[in-house]
Amino acid sequence: MGQIKSFLSLVKFSHTIFAMPFAMIGFFIGVNEYGLDRINVKLLGLVVLCMVTARNAAMAFNRWADQEIDKKNPRTSTREIPSGIISQTSALWFVIINVVLFFISAYFINPLCFYLSPIAILIVLGYSYTKRFSWICHLILGVGLSLAPIGACLAVTAHFSLVTFLYGVAVITWVAGFDILYALQDVEFDKKESLHSIPVKFGMSKSLTISMGLHVLCTICIVICSYLLWHQFQLRGFMLGGSMSFLTLLYYQHTIVSERDLSKLNLAFFTTNGFASLILALGIIIDFYW
């Protein structure tokens, strides 16, 4: 039981809530685009399994790849691999097992998802090395999570959907924006270790502006998606309420994080964004079936 808890902590399993609601948005948009009367529980389970295994693999690989960096950083030196709670070999086997389970799940969904699954894995694993050579690493992280709504819809329909693609773009700008905020706490360490990030490249003040700019782009995407859902499916009250709540929480995090005060970063990064994505998804799903 203790080892299971260690692996759940390694991959921050509770943070699956960031991307999972967007996968559910994509899934239910796909179901309703097809006009299906019943939800395919087996397919839904496979989509959830794909989400969980891909994220487990990505997080564990990130921790494995960053173990030497994490050892040097006082903020991360107590993580499972640097502290010896989980060995390097065990972490790597955990990655391999989850990647295999991801491929198997994609195979049983449909051929298109299976053919695209290696690309998805390359993106979510490749992110771990981007901060070694480029400050656009935040956007690459966003691209990895943006596959959630797009892939979930593909699982149902086997073709691309405009609205889920736009939700994917919203995820890119949303995630990149809050990841920039999170990176503010490691600016001095990253400079010392020659690691790249937008805060390192542009400084704290400009990074806050860039983060806000990305979230403005996210707002535009969410507004367009809301219009498309209203126009295509006649969704109204709950969907609009969820979208407005998401955007309110999106901007709330900018009121509690400043260049002079980073003490509430965890509240902004984890709690606020977790609730935001969950409320957005619930509003859309409830509106589909109310």
Residue 264: CB atoms within 10 A of its CB come to 15
Return the pLDDT at 8: 67
Average pLDDT, the chain: 92
- The model's confidence at residue 11, banded by pLDDT at 50, 70 and 90, is low
Is it the case that residue 103 has pLDDT exceeding 80? Answer: yes
> What value does the mean pLDDT take over residues 104-126?
97
Residue range 201-222, pLDDT digits in tens: 999 999 999 999 999 999 999 9
Is it the case that residue 6 has pLDDT exceeding 80? Answer: no
Please name the amino acid found at residue 80: E
Domains of the chain, earliest start first: 19-289 (1.10.357.140)
> What value does the mean pLDDT take over residues 81-95?
91
Residue range 239-282, pLDDT digits in tens: 999 999 999 999 999 988 887 777 777 767 777 888 999 999 99
Is 259 buried (19+), middle (13-18) or exposed (0-12) by CB count in 10 A? exposed
State whether the Cα torsion 49-279-4-149 is positive or negative: positive
Residue range 29-82, pLDDT digits in tens: 999 987 777 889 999 999 999 999 999 999 999 999 999 999 999 988 988 888
